[in-house]
Amino acid sequence: MPYFISAIIAIVSATVILLTRFEGDNSSVISELERVKKMMLIVDGYVDTYLEARGSIPRALTTIYTDFSAKNLEDSALLLNGSVVEDDTADANIKNLYFPSDTNKTIAFRVSPEAGSTSISSYTLSVQINNHPILSSRLPLVKSYLQKEVCENRLFAKVLTNTANNVVSCVVYK
């Protein structure tokens, strides 16, 4: 009987040890999420700077509202040195912004006017996660975190829920 009890204790101990070792994987997800969060805030800062440089926000948005994209930010020389703005592979009218640290182009940022709105006081910020080695495996967690923590809490934005599986979009009001 003592052998049986010690075997059960050993099995439970081994299970606990194995399960706690997988907690280390969450640290890499959390660090990548923090990196994406910082990038989203930087893109919002780019838009703020662009709008302030153009004058008052309503007038600036009126003049750029129909074709505002990451290309406008690149043309204004506001982006980090080494940032890349490219056409989307599916639609040449969409411009993707990639940060210099993202050499594999796994996280694309898009800036555009709010779809279907005549308001000139908001824009849509979208983040597309393409085959990211860490974030793709935890996509529901990533989307939830970016929607709640970044869009709602930091940018005071409205989350768009009808987006593709690997895209997080929110409408940022200025």
pTM score, two decimals?
Answer: 0.75
Average pLDDT over residues 99-109: 88
**Could you state, in order of their start, the residue ranges of all structural domains in the chain?**
26-173
Tell me what pLDDT residue 18 has: 73
* Strand-strand pairing, 167-173 and 107-113: unpaired
Place of tokens 């919002």: 44
Per the CB < 8 A criterion, the answer to whether 127 and 172 are in contact is no
Q: What is the pLDDT of residues 23-56, one digit of tens each?
A: 555 778 889 999 999 999 999 988 888 777 765 4
Per the CB < 8 A criterion, the answer to whether 56 and 81 are in contact is no
Place of tokens 């600036």: 60
Tokens encoding 32: 């990548």
